[in-house]
Structures are given as structure tokens and as C-alpha cells.
């Protein structure tokens, strides 16, 4: 059968993630900092081990982590999700957990981001959690955070199964700055395959043919040559002007699809919203998936006073976002849960504000990261685990990402969801060297892919 191998159950995933503890009781070899584990190994740990006392550095370089939160995860009856605050990117952490308040007899994991999920916990048992910063030699370089306590619980919806979705602007055929498609294309395909995505909203998938093939068909060939079974929604040589939905036909089935052209400014390319009703094959549950690409304008960072050009493009993006919402509403007569992806060309420090964000939020959609206008900390986030959310979703083909020292960066690419959808993970997919804080390797695009693992009700 074509497509990805069948996915293991949550209990199997937990066992896999914790295998060094359950089977051998030894520390596994740490992975390279820039190579994240597959999303199925959701503990996102570089090592897993029975509790040991790590040696402390002679001087504590960092203050103890703050803002530690723990809650039962919707992904399984034996899982707890954890998040904590940070200002400095690239740090590693030791997370300690135990049934005793003094942590005697507990276990620990080393993680590469300030968020994780820990499985294999007995349902209903109360656990204590705390975290501290460690260096590359796994020596403690901060004190412990304040401990928090909670327990794993059976999810309210035991029939839901994770669905992997993403938004990815793949930067058309252009060679300027980022290299030829012959170089970038395989990297785009590898990025999609690495996250085993079920549905992807693509932007700038060029419909013009080069060498007898357009960019979307070129990408599909690369994906399916690796044994996947991706298809495109709304095919056609010039349909949707590069805004496309591709899906893994082994895991989801489209039942209805369409598109709407958005209003545009003189001289701009055509803009669209593309949508499809899907059935998740593993559960039989339906959802509406949409993607769009709103108008962009340069130099739109917040200033004391918006220029005339900034105001013009701001108003057009706001209008287009309203049209996206209206089209989704018109095509969702069944009241299906909605996933909206896209390059909105607007982030939280745009002048005068992030108009599309406000339009989507007012329509009842949820940003799982909680990253509204000018926020320095998450505001009502719903994602259980966040991965590399501190980095911008635009990379501009730079070798070093912009560093804001806040939990959520400046994002123009989004995955929005209905309130009824649970978000297990939200990831800005990047390869960053944690020591140099520079990108590793060639960029697939001038945008970083944004991925979410969600549960359809």
C-alpha cells in the first residue's frame, strides 16, 4: 500500500519514547541539537534516563526557569504536557518528575525546547515536575524552577487521532537569493516528509511550467518518489495562482473542494483562498481545511506613524481576510471544524496592527500559540507543546535568524483552528545550531514551514 506506514497508538508511542527507561535504564545517546526527533516521539527529548544527579557547574550562569505549567494531555491517558517561560533561545533543559514531592526515586529527561510532553505515567497518579537549564555537557547551569503538580487523565475524546497539518510558502521557481529549485525542491519535499503531514497549505507553488512541468507537479513527483501518496486539491495549469492544498491520500480523503479569488490591488498577483472538506481516514471525522496568501508590502514594521503605502496594504489585507472568513462560512454549512493555514504577510508588529489576526480571532478561530499584537508572552495559548516558536516564520535566506528573546516570534505564516480542535503541538520547522544560533544547511524556502498536530472532534 502506498503512503506512510500505519501510525502506532499513543501507548506504543509513549513506550517508544521512553524505551531507554523501560527496557534498559540507561541514558540514550544525545541527538544533535539541530536535528529534532520525529513528531511522533512527542517527548522531544535528547536523553531519557532514570533520575540521576547531574553535576552542577561551578557558577550558575542562568536564573532558574519560571512560569512552569503542567496539565493532562489530550493525546493520551498517560501523558502530561509541560511549558515554561524563557528569554534565551538555544538552551537545553532537564525536566525532573516524580510521585514524591522531594523527587526521590524520580526520573528525568533532557529536552531542547522549553516545552515537552511526558508519557508512560499511570492515569490518575499525582506527579511533581520541575525544570532547570543544563549545558552541552548536561551540567546544571541554573537552579530548579518551582515545582508544580498534576496527573495524567483519560482524554474526554478517546476516539480522536492526531492529524498533522502545515502551512508552507515554497517560494515559486525564483532563483534569486535562495538557489535553484533543483536544489531547494528536494529540501521542500524532505521537510514535508519529515513531519508525515496529512494536509498542507502551500503558497507560491508556481503554475508556470519550466522544463515542461509546473512547480506543484514537480513537488508531488519528489514526494511520491519516496513512497508517499500525495495528491493536489483543485488542479489546473493556472488555478489559484500558486495557492494549493496537497494531502496524503493514504490518511485523508477529500469530499468537496473549491476556491475564491480575493480582491487585489493594481499590479499585484491574483490572490485566492482554496478550501476542501476532508475525511480523516482513521476516524471517519470530517473537517474543512483552507489556505490563502494575502497581499504583501515591504517595510511594514510598526513605526510611530503609518505611511500611506502601509495603510493601503493594511486595509487590503484586512479586506482579504474578511473575504477568507466569508468564503469559509459559506462553504461550511455542515458546521465542520476548521483549519485555516496561510501566509498572511502580517505579523504582530505590523503598522498599525496585525489586521488578519484580528479578523480571524473575531470570527472565532484560535491561534494556538496565543501571539497577538505586540505580545511579549503568550496570551491564552492552547497548544500543549510549542517547538521553536521563538523564531520568525520568514527567514529571508539569511544564515542567522532574527533573535527577539521572546517565546513567540514574528509570524506571518499561521495555522488557525476552530475552538473545538485540540492542538497537541505547534512547530516552526527550523534547523538551528543551538551553540551558534545559526541556521544549519540550505534553506528550502525563504519561509519556514509551520506545522501543527491537532485532534479533530
Check which CATH number belongs to the domain holding 121 and give it: 2.60.40.10
User: What pLDDT score was predicted for residue 39?
Assistant: 33
Question: 131 and 198 share a domain?
Answer: no
Residue 1 belongs to a domain: no
| Mean pLDDT (10-residue bins), the chain, 457 residues | 40 30 24 31 45 59 96 96 95 97 96 97 95 94 97 95 98 79 96 98 92 94 97 72 95 97 92 98 98 84 75 94 98 98 93 94 98 92 97 94 94 98 98 95 96 99
Domain range for 117 is 10-151
Residues 352 and 447 occupy one common structural domain = yes
The pLDDT of residue 308: 84
Both 85 and 186 in one domain: the answer is no
- Which residues, other chains included, contact 253 with Cβ-Cβ below 8 Å and sequence gap of 6+? 278, 279, 281
In a domain, 156, yes or no: no
Shared domain check, 231 and 85? no
Q: 232, 218 in Cβ contact below 8 A?
A: no
- The answer on 191 and 136 residing in a single domain is no
**pLDDT tens string 21-39:** 222 222 222 333 323 323 3
What pLDDT sits at residue 55?
A: 58
In a domain? residue 351? yes
For 273-318, write each residue's pLDDT tens digit: 999 999 999 999 999 999 999 999 766 566 668 888 888 999 999 9
CA distance 106 to 99: 7
Residue at 5 is within a domain: no
Same domain, yes or no, for 132 and 259? no
Cβ–Cβ < 8 Å for 206, 212? no
Q: What is the pLDDT of residue 310?
A: 86
Residue at which a domain ends, from 99, 116, 151? 151
Q: 324 and 420 in one domain?
A: yes
The answer as to whether 2 is a domain residue is no
pLDDT of residue 30: 30
H, E, C per residue of the chain: CCCCCCCCCHHHHHHHHCHHHHHHCCCCCCCCCCCCCCCCCCCCEEEEEECCCCCECCCCCCCCCCCCEEEECCCCCCCEEEECCCCCCCCEEEEEEECCCCCCCCEEEEECCCEEEECCCCCCCEEEEEEEEECCCCCECCCCCCCEEEECCCCCCCCCCEEEEEEEECCCCCCCCCCCHHHHHHHHHHHHHHCCCCEEEEECCCCCCECCECHHHHHHHHHHCCCCCEEEECCCCCHHHHCEEEEECCCEEEEEEEEEEECCCCCCCCEEEEEEEEEECCCCEEEEEEEEECCCCCCCECCCCCCHHHHHHHHHHHHHHHHHHHHHHHCCCCCCCEEEEEECCCCCCECCCCHHHHHHHHCCEECCCCCCCCCCCCCCCCCCEEECCCCCCECCCCCCCCCCCCCCCCCCEEEEEECCCEEEEEEECCCEECCCCEECCCCCCCECCEEEEEECC
Q: Are residues 145 and 195 in the same domain?
A: no
pLDDT of residue 324: 99
Last residue of a domain, one of 128, 151, 174: 151
Q: Answer whether residue 407 is part of any domain.
A: yes
CA 8 → CA 54, 155, 282, distances in Å? 33, 18, 12
Domain count, the chain: 2
Is 157 inside a domain boundary?
no
How confident is the model at residue 47, as a pLDDT? 45
Considering the domain architecture, whether residues 135 and 168 belong to the same structural domain is answered as no
Q: Are 145 and 131 in contact (CB under 8 A)?
A: yes
Q: 34 in a domain, yes or no?
A: yes
**Cα gap 388→371, rounded to integer Å:** 14
The predicted structure's pLDDT at residue 54: 57
Query: Rounded to an integer, what is the distance from CA 52 to the centroid of its chain?
Result: 32
pLDDT value, residue 41: 36
Q: Choose one of 151, 181, 202: the last residue of a domain.
A: 151
How far out from the chain centre does Cα 230 lie?
20
The answer to whether residues 186 and 206 belong to one domain is yes
Output the nine-digit C-alpha cell for 28.
540514550
Closest of 422, 391, 395 to residue 407, by C-alpha: 391
Domain co-membership, 203 together with 87: no
Same domain, 214 and 283: yes
The per-residue pLDDT for 433 is 94
Amino acid at each position: 500500500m502506498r503512503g506512510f506506514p500505519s501510525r502506532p497508538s499513543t501507548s506504543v508511542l509513549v513506550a517508544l519514547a521512553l524505551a531507554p527507561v523501560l527496557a534498559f535504564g540507561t541514558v540514550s545517546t544525545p541527538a544533535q541539537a539541530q536535528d529534532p526527533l520525529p513528531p511522533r516521539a512527542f517527548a522531544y527529548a535528547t536523553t531519557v534516563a532514570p533520575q540521576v544527579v547531574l553535576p552542577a557547574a561551578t557558577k550558575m550562569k542562568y536564573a532558574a526557569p519560571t512560569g512552569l505549567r503542567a496539565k493532562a494531555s489530550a493525546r493520551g491517558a498517560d501523558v502530561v504536557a509541560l511549558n515554561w517561560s524563557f528569554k534565551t533561545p538555544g538552551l537545553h533543559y532537564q525536566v525532573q518528575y516524580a510521585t514524591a514531592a522531594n523527587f526521590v526515586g524520580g526520573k528525568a529527561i533532557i529536552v531542547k525546547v522549553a516545552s515537552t510532553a511526558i508519557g508512560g505515567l499511570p492515569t490518575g497518579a499525582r506527579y511533581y515536575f520541575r525544570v532547570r537549564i543544563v549545558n552541552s555537557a548536561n551540567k546544571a547551569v541554573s537552579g530548579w524552577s518551582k515545582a508544580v503538580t498534576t496527573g495524567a487523565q483519560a482524554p474526554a475524546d478517546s476516539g480522536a487521532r492526531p492529524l498533522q497539518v502545515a502551512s508552507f510558502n515554497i517560494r515559486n521557481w525564483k532563483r534569486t537569493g535562495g538557489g535553484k529549485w533543483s536544489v531547494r525542491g528536494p529540501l521542500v519535499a524532505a521537510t514535508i516528509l519529515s513531519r508525515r503531514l496529512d494536509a498542507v497549505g502551500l503558497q507560491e507553488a508556481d503554475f508556470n511550467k519550466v522544463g515542461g512541468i509546473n512547480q506543484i507537479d514537480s513537488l508531488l513527483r519528489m514526494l511520491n518518489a519516496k513512497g508517499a501518496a500525495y495528491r493536489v486539491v483543485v488542479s489546473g495549469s493556472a488555478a489559484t495562482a500558486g495557492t494549493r492544498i496537497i494531502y496524503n491520500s493514504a490518511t485523508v480523503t477529500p469530499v468537496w473542494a473549491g476556491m475564491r479569488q480575493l480582491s487585489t490591488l493594481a499590479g499585484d498577483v491574483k490572490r485566492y483562498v482554496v478550501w476542501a472538506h476532508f475525511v480523516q481516514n482513521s476516524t471517519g471525522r470530517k473537517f474543512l481545511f483552507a489556505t490563502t496568501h494575502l497581499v504583501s508590502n515591504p517595510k511594514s514594521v510598526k513605526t510611530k506613524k503609518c505611511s500611506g503605502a502601509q495603510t493601503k496594504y493594511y486595509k487590503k489585507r484586512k479586506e482579504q481576510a474578511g473575504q477568507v472568513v466569508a468564503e469559509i462560512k459559506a462553504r461550511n454549512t455542515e458546521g465542520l471544524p476548521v483549519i485555516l493555514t496561510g501566509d498572511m504577510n502580517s505579523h504582530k508588529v505590523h503598522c498599525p496592527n496585525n489586521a488578519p489576526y484580528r479578523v480571524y480571532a473575531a470570527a472565532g478561530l484560535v491561534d494556538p500559540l496565543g501571539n497577538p499584537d505586540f505580545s511579549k508572552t503568550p496570551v491564552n495559548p492552547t497548544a500543549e507543546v510549542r517547538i521553536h516558536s521563538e523564531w520568525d516564520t520568514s527567514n529571508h535566506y539569511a544564515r542567522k535568524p532574527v533573535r527577539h528573546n521572546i517565546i513567540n516570534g514574528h509570524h506571518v505564516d499561521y495555522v488557525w483552528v476552530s475552538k473545538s480542535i485540540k492542538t497537541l503541538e505547534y512547530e516552526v520547522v527550523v534547523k538551528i545550531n543551538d551553540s551558534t544560533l545559526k541556521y544549519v544547511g540550505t534553506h528550502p524556502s525563504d519561509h519556514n514551514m509551520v506545522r501543527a498536530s491537532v485532534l479533530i472532534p
